[in-house]
Amino acid sequence: MIFPWVWRVLPGPAWVRLVILLLVITAVVGVLFQWVFPWFSVTFDIQETNVEAAP
């Protein structure tokens, strides 16, 4: 199982593990919002507004 495994490999007492987890989650969400989601939205033409010649 993934979740218990993550908890096991993290070092330190419970509160340190919690802080590390929160930091990692924040970083992952940041990367998604800043780079992954904008790329996805543009690449798959979600919310397109322009008229353009048919390819």
Q: By CB under 8 A, name the binding residues for another protein.
A: 1-3, 29, 32-33, 37-38, 40-42, 45-54
27 versus 48: smaller Cβ distance to another protein: 48
Task: Please list, residue by residue across 6-32, b when 16 or more beta carbons sit within 10 angstroms of its beta carbon and e when fewer do.
Answer: eeeeeeeeeeebeeeeeeeeeeeeeee
Which CB atom, from 14 or from 54, has the smaller least distance to another protein?
54
Residue 12 DSSP one-character state: S
Helix (H) or strand (E) holding 17: helix 14-31
Of 22 and 37, CB closest to another protein: 37
Least separation, in Å, of the C-beta of 43 and another protein?
Answer: 10
